[in-house]
Amino acid sequence: MSSPTVDIVVPVWNNPFETRACLAAILMHSPGARLIIVDNGSSRETELMLEEFSESMGDSGLFIKSERNIGLVAAINLGLARSEGDFTVIVRPNVTVQRGWLETLISVAETSGAGILSPLFTGRGAPLLPQLTPGCTTMESCTISFEAIMLNAAMRAVVGIFDEHLDGNEWCLKDYVRRTAAHGYRTCITGRLILPCAVGQQFGSALRRNEMIQNSRSSYISKWGIPRHYCVYFGKEAETVSLDTMITAILDGARQGHLFTLLLHRRQYSLFLKMGWTGLHTGIELRRLSPLFSLKSLQRQFLALRTASPDLLAVRGGNGILFPGVDTAISHEELLSSICAHTTNIIQNEGHYHDN
């Protein structure tokens, strides 16, 4: 069986010394991969460095130039449009790759079947990604970063490119993850690879960036709805069958970008361990209740959650189940209905995202 082909897209805007170090590390530690450099309207100094670097790559590289800064997302899309590999990896110049990095990503991507795969990061510029459940090396997640991600070519052929009207980070990626999930592909993060990440450059004023973020958030909510945080209590006597049905729905909800905190009695937590439900998604948090004072533990943990998240919605996780001390708790039927209601016809409306 032949090895998968890989293209590595690096969007560049100035900072020639850091960029050269990043490119050199990629060439050294990525045997067989093709490097696609996108010069996003850089200064003449950076442009000359990139031209010199690209000449030395020969057929193993491709140099694309934009005369002006068109934005991070648009620059990435330029590179994606020229990518022909089985996998495409986006790496920003403030990230340093290491020996074995690409082999690790490929191995995890093939094992997990992920459409999008992100490593973890360390260093001053490391993006804030969710923590993995202890004992889990790879989990589904809705939170990733443009610092470095791997995209499956089959997924890209269906989902298309990134929305250039959204910001170059959180909301653009949330939208892409949702579109990916709508087509049946999963997004994962893996702790098997941790890459050093310096502080990256930012384009434009803080005021302009904040305005872009707010506009992108509004656009995302208009399209997908408001991301919710649910706190679910199943009751002490919940049966395995009913839990299985609810967990399937909760996982679907987590893939839609919602957060879930599940308050579990000791027996239920043991069941989750047995069923392999403790590492399903980074958007699903499990909390054990005290076996001796479970009612007080339930009320104390719920109060702490609501203090941190005032819009928290309590959910009664079964027929006839009460959520002690919370009169406003919704039923599990209302939760299921809400999750199903977010299933849209987005697949039919995405033609303009494709790079044909």
Under CATH, which number does the domain 229-341 receive? 3.40.50
Chain centroid to Cα 85, Å, comes to: 21
Q: Within the chain, which residues score under 50 in pLDDT? A: 344-349, 355-356
By DSSP bridging, strand 116-122 and strand 148-152 are antiparallel
By DSSP bridging, strand 34-40 and strand 116-122 are unpaired
- Predicted local confidence at residue 353, as pLDDT: 54
Contacts of 154 (CB under 8 A, 6+ apart): 115
CATH of 6-223, one of 3.90.550.10, 3.40.50.1000, 2.60.120.260, 3.20.20.70: 3.90.550.10
Taking the model in full, what pTM does it have? Answer: 0.92
Give, for 35, the enclosing helix (H) or strand (E). Answer: strand 34-40
Report whether 288 contacts 264 (CB < 8 A): yes
- Predicted local confidence at residue 348, as pLDDT: 46
Task: Give residue limits of the domains in the chain.
Answer: 6-223, 229-341
- Predicted local confidence at residue 356, as pLDDT: 45
d(CA 156, CA 152): 6
The tokens describing 5, both together, are 């082909």
Q: Per DSSP, what are the bridge partners of residue 262?
A: 232, 286
- Predicted local confidence at residue 354, as pLDDT: 53
The residue written with tokens 């809400």 in the block is 338
